[in-house]
Amino acid sequence: MNLRKIAQRSALLILAIACASLLIQARFRQPNAEYQARRAKLRAAINAPIVVFGYTAHEYSGELAVFAQEENFYYLTGHDEPDAALLLIPDSPDPKTSTGPHEILYLPPRNPNDEKWGGPKMGPDDPDAPEKTGFQAVEPFASLHADLVNLAKTNATFYTELPPKQENGYPHLTIWSAWVRSALPQSTINDIAPPLASLRQIKSPGEIALLQKAVDASVDAHLAAMRMMRPGLFEYQIAARMKEVHEMEGCTREAYAPIVGAGLYSTVLHYDDLKNEIKDGDMVVIDVAGEYGGYAADITRTLPANGKFTPRQREIYEIVLGAQNAALAAIKPGAMLFGPKSVHQVAFDYINTHGHDLQGNSLGRYFFHGLGHHLGLDVHDPNDRTSPLQPNMVITDEPGIYIPEEKIGVRIEDDVLVTADGNQLLTAKLPRTPDEIEKIMAEPRATPQP
């Protein structure tokens, strides 16, 4: 082998290692300072001890299970291992009498036998645990009960996450809030979820960067779907190609169950069976996005299966696009997402005053979901519908029209950052107009595949 080939191979090897490093780093948490700042904000807002529990290993079971942390706990800690808890203690009014740590992370003991199967975990006795986690103190989980009892001597009120009236799935909040009440029978227990929701709505620069990474991978997946789409494929094949793109670009998982609905199923909002063959003349709603570094994108495009919109399909599509653009123009600080004179109302009014169904009725009745929602650690991040939009909120803009009798469903969904003077479309690289979509869908047909 000559020196030139050796050099070329060495360069390729270095590039491969660099790319692999980027993919690995893409899954890492943000710097400790980010989580410390969030905890400091919450402690400043709540003048009482706060205890938040991470998920245990019981929420997820079975061979296909992959652990995912409880969102509020992760938001405050960046810790992504099970069976942990967090205690925040308010500062004393007199700094001279303030002793001991005010932020404590509680971890379970390490289990050497479990680590043979699942790999090393962080334990409370690890000497570098405080430095790695960014906490003033890391203690055994077993110490939490006694610490709460001791705090109750000087604190009448505590905060934790309280369950809703009906908790779906594994009753995490029900179990742990009951545990707190049993440890503190004489104390008042308040819900920390509303103050945390207010914090989570405003995204930091680090969070916005991770959201943009999730969006970029999801945009590439949608472009791949546009180039792949044709009659004769099955819905699950489109989803499989998109999931491949997400994982190749560093996404840890899908942000939600992929939705690919063809024909009649384009009118079913959360259709995720994905078992039907895509037929010539179908409209195909593709609502698929990835999660990057814990943060979720949420993008929808609607495609003609054969690469060309019929006149009626194009008419409905352009009405939805017009509604989306009208809403986008109204998204700014101070605007309301829902309610009278809201961004949602702007989109609804546009749809209701443009076009008709086959009986001549207005189309407003076929737009029967909300215009959008907040994005973040959850694809439907915490929000307060009674509060106006603020800078650094990230929301979706997703009007739709769904006409079952015509087997035409259209939804166009983009992710929007609210800025100081308006908004920024995070998904701007993904075409939205019917002409642009038809052009991209024609590319693979123009170039024969080997």
- pLDDT of the residue at 267: 98
- pLDDT of the residue at 165: 86
The sheet with strand 290-292 has its strands ordered as 253-254, 290-292, 295-296
Q: Which residues of the chain have pLDDT under 50?
A: 1-27, 448-450
- pLDDT of the residue at 5: 43
Rounded to two decimals, what is the model's pTM? 0.90
- pLDDT of the residue at 9: 44
Which residues make Cβ contacts (< 8 Å) with residue 260, sequence separation at least 6?
Answer: 235, 236, 238, 239, 271, 274, 284, 285, 286, 287, 288
> Per the structure block, which two tokens stand in for 379?
């694809």
Q: What angle do CA 143, 149, 153 make, to 5 degrees?
A: 140
- pLDDT of the residue at 446: 53
What is the spatial distance between Cα 367 and Cα 377, in angstroms, rounded to a whole number? Answer: 27
Instruction: For residue range 76-85, list pLDDT tens digits in order.
Output: 999 999 999 9
DSSP 81: S
Instruction: For residue range 138-180, list pLDDT tens digits in order.
Output: 999 999 999 999 999 999 999 999 999 888 888 999 999 999 9
- pLDDT of the residue at 97: 53
The answer to whether the Cα torsion of 19, 428, 395, 422 is positive or negative is positive
Phi/psi for 87 (5° steps) reads -125, 125
- pLDDT of the residue at 211: 98
Q: Which domains does the chain have, with CATH numbers?
A: 28-200 (3.40.350.10), 202-446 (3.90.230.10)
What is the spatial distance between Cα 259 and Cα 289, in angstroms, rounded to a whole number? Answer: 10
